[in-house]
Amino acid sequence: MKHILKLNFILAMVLTFSACSSPKVSQNSKVTTGNSGQSVQVSQVQTPVKIPTIKETVATLCSDEFQGRLTGSKGNEKTGEYIEKTFKDIGLDPFFDNSYYQKYYLGVNSSYRGEQNNTKLKMVNNVVGVIKGKKSENAVVVSAHFDHLGYVDGKIIRGALDNASGVSALVEIAHKVKEKSKVKPFDTDIIFCAFNGEEVGLKGSEAFVNAVTSTNYNFYNINIDCIGAKNGGKLALKNKNELSNKLYGAVKTTFKKDNIGFADTVVHGLSDHVNFQSMGIPSVFIVQGNIENLVHKPTDIPDTLDYKQIDKIANGITDFIGANDGVIFTQ
């Protein structure tokens, strides 16, 4: 009897240990009818959702299928669909009326900077998701544009640096911040904007800023455009807008801690942060220096990017958002 009790005790311990050490797998259950006519509960294992890596996002956006992402083109529409699905998979909530799309009308051409008499009015989309905070009167808007030039002189302009790099960082930051929010919710709403129409006059960010400035939000913007070029320079973090002094200073503090190199220089050209600043909203432009001769060319392909550097910048921005939760960088 003692031997039997001892054996039962050992068996119970083995079963307990096995249960504790087995990995947890998310399951669904459904009830089906067996051969005997009795109801049988069958477990279905859910396949974990895979979020694309930085390199995978760039490769997808630069693929033939996405056709250079010219605003209004089929490839551009597919790009929006891809980003929408990724935002869903990450677990972001829709920002506009239960939709990830912010629709607006834009005059589009069949080619980049096409003739004005060939312009057609078309509905296009920004893609916007949000992680809701505990105090939704404050918000951070993290942005990157996903459109590019399509075909120029018969050659596809893939836009790896401009701006698949920024979108890949946006996705990575959204994923990292969402995971952090599951452990400790943020005070601030964190809005992730993939803008369309940047290459044709910053139209996507204009539509977004016009929509959001009519709300009671206090917010600032982190705009990412062209990062990670192997042949580029350091991040060009010279602030040209007095409104954004505190924001630039705080970003530089975090980047120094994370050993992310930057310089007090500027790049030529505009990006979506301009629309925020024009409405009195602090904005920091995350852009790499010495890239003027690298973009808007057929040679702007995925092999020209340093993916570890993009990941480092994405981590730095994630750290910045966490360290400054609830802060609004007004003068």
Quick one: residue 100, left, alpha or beta (phi over 0 = left, psi -120 to 50 = alpha)? Answer: alpha
In the numeric block, the tokens 């698949």 are attached to 164
Amino acid (one-letter) located at 103: K
Q: 225, 272 in Cβ contact below 8 A?
A: yes
Angle among Cα 85, 87, 88 to the nearest 5 degrees reads 65
Is the model's pLDDT at 208 over the cut of 90?
yes
Helix segments in the chain, DSSP class H: 2-21, 54-61, 74-90, 165-183, 203-212, 245-257, 273-278, 307-323
Q: 263, 234 in Cβ contact below 8 A?
A: yes
Q: Quick one: CA torsion of 248, 215, 71, 81, rounded to 10 degrees? A: 100
Question: Bridge-partner residues for 28, per DSSP?
Answer: 44
As a whole number, the mean pLDDT across the chain is: 87
Q: What is the pLDDT of residues 97-144, one digit of tens each?
A: 899 999 999 988 888 876 666 788 999 999 999 999 998 789 999 999
Contacts of 47 (CB under 8 A, 6+ apart): none
Q: What is the pLDDT of residues 256-308, one digit of tens each?
A: 999 999 999 999 889 999 999 999 999 999 999 999 999 999 999 999 999 99
> What's the mean pLDDT in 205-224?
92
pTM to 2 decimals?
Answer: 0.85
Of 215, 234, 198, 192, nearest in space to 87 by CA: 192
